Amino acid sequence: MRILIYMWEGVRIAFDALKAYKMRSILTTLGIIIGVTTVITIVALIQGLNQAFSREISAIGTDTLYIQKFPWIMNDNDWFKYRNRKNITLEESERVRQLSTLSLAVAPSIATRRTAKFQDKSVESVIIFGTNADYMITSNAVPEYGRFMSENDVHENRPVCVIGWEVAQKLFDQADPLGKRINIGGRKFRVIGVLEKKGSMFGFNQDIIGIIPIGAFQSAFGAQRRSVEVEVKIKSPELIEEAEYELTGIMRRIRKLTPEKENDFAINKQSMLLDTYNKLTSTLWAVAIGVGAISLLVGGIGIMNIMLVSVTERTHEIGIRMAIGARGRDILVQFLIEAVVLSLSGGLIGVLVGFLATWVVNLATEWVTVISPTNVLLSFGFAGAVGIFFGYYPARKAAALNPIEALRYE
């Protein structure tokens, strides 16, 4: 109870001082304002990036593995090493499909860009995938209407295609595309399905695509000499490590690799992208933490400085308070509160300016920003901690004053 009462007196004194020395207080807290603003803004940018990234990456499931010639993440130098690897073939993909026990679906795929035409309309640079019926599961390519390719379509290399939402829109407008023959890269394909609208991922528009049987792809576009990518959907995300192990074993067996030989293929997965992304953003984090820490340090020294001035200016007042019964620790608490009020005011202004800055970024750029309550509370907490830490020395100095000498001080 007693502590609450004189803490309240401390708050009252602090606000009196803030009111009496407005300009001085603002200048004093400048370091803290800059620190908090920086942290709020950069963290909002990072969290915005995170959100955008996780939305993009969600298209690559955590339960999907990709057997490919090249790993997704590599150094420039490694490229030459990987280039000499054997291509992954359709037959190998078929063997994997037969041998794997942990997979739900296995789809080989090759892709190319071709123009799609129907009557007088055309869409350029449509990404054409050659694949099998499992692709519907591995790539979550769900038809909005019509149907996906069947096993038979693929087996017999029928000239059928499933087209992306935007292709259908552009070629057929309001008309029904199902059953129509469209021209893809000079060959005719019958439309059997139209995919749901998916949006874009990493700048690639997932709605301007066409999917055809892989055999038809090879004979139409002569891609026998290209490596296929094998998409493997696992029964559940927890099995991903086991499945990776299993697939590695199967591939090595197919390719008859002796134990001393390295893998001559790559098994890619979402977490590889995540890891790389995290490495990238950690640089941003370092900047936020660095600038924030330095500004808070400078701000803290500013607060210590002004509190020392304040203690000197108010020596007589401290004497009066001590003469009527304030103990050293009462004075200590009073000055600590003043330092904290000062630093928290800086923190508050910093948060407001931070909000303003991120708002401007939002207006001026495409960059999405996210300000989370944790971010705000943490910045506030740091500002308060700086007040306590740097206010302690001046406060202790005040508390240690001798009452009679303080009273005599003019």
Partner 1 sequence: MLIQLEKIEKIYEIGTVKVPALRGVDLLLGKNEYVAIMGPSGSGKSTLMNILGCLDTPSGGTYTLNDINVSEMDDDQLAEIRNREIGFVFQTFNLLPRATALHNVELPLIYNGTSAVQRRKQALEALDQVGLADRVHHKPNELSGGQRQRVAIARALVNRPSILLADEPTGNLDSRTGDEIMEIIEDLHEQGHTIILVTHEEYIAEHSNRIIRLRDGLIERDEAVHK
Residues found near partner 1 in the complex (CB under 8 A): 1-2, 5-6, 9, 16, 20, 316-317, 319-330, 403-404, 407
Give 65 or 318: the residue with its C-beta nearer to partner 1: 318
Quote the least distance from Cβ 42 to partner 1, whole Å.
40
Q: Decide if 25 contacts 360 (C-beta within 8 A).
A: no
Quote the least distance from Cβ 306 to partner 1, whole Å.
18
Q: CA-CA distance, 181 to 116, in Å (whole number)?
A: 11
Total residues belonging to the chain: 410
DSSP 3-state assignment of 46? helix
Give 155 or 316: the residue with its C-beta nearer to partner 1: 316
Closest C-alpha among 285, 346, 281 to residue 35: 346
Quote the least distance from Cβ 361 to partner 1, whole Å.
43
Q: Decide if 164 contacts 171 (C-beta within 8 A).
A: no
Give 348 or 407: the residue with its C-beta nearer to partner 1: 407
- Using only C-alpha atoms, the chain has a radius of gyration, in whole angstroms, of 33
Give 128 or 322: the residue with its C-beta nearer to partner 1: 322
Residue 49, H or E segment: helix 30-57
Quote the least distance from Cβ 320 to partner 1, whole Å.
5
Give 253 or 327: the residue with its C-beta nearer to partner 1: 327
Structure tokens at 126: 């449509």
What is the Cβ-side half-sphere exposure of residue 321, based on CA atoms within 13 angstroms? Answer: 21
Quote the least distance from Cβ 14 to partner 1, whole Å.
12
Structure tokens at 45: 């940018």
The per-residue DSSP string of 105-132 comes to EEEEEEEEEEEEEETTEEEEEEEEEEE-
Give 9 or 56: the residue with its C-beta nearer to partner 1: 9
C-alpha dihedral sign at 354, 356, 358, 364: negative
Residue 72, H or E segment: none
Q: CA-CA distance, 149 to 161, in Å (whole number)?
A: 7
Quote the least distance from Cβ 20 to partner 1, whole Å.
7
Give 209 or 336: the residue with its C-beta nearer to partner 1: 336
Give 5 or 286: the residue with its C-beta nearer to partner 1: 5
Q: Decide if 114 contacts 99 (C-beta within 8 A).
A: no
Quote the least distance from Cβ 6 to partner 1, whole Å.
6
Query: What are the CA-CA distances from residue 298 to residues 14, 302, 303, 336 (Å)?
Result: 21, 6, 9, 18
Quote the least distance from Cβ 29 to partner 1, whole Å.
21
Quote the least distance from Cβ 22 to partner 1, whole Å.
15
Helix axes 328-364, 2-20, angle to 10 degrees: 60
Rounding to the nearest 10 degrees, give the CA dihedral for residues 206, 208, 212, 215: -80
Quote the least distance from Cβ 305 to partner 1, whole Å.
22
Give 1 or 364: the residue with its C-beta nearer to partner 1: 1
Q: CA-CA distance, 384 to 198, in Å (whole number)?
A: 46
Give 6 or 135: the residue with its C-beta nearer to partner 1: 6
Q: CA-CA distance, 81 to 67, in Å (whole number)?
A: 17
Give 19 or 83: the residue with its C-beta nearer to partner 1: 19
Quote the least distance from Cβ 1 to partner 1, whole Å.
6
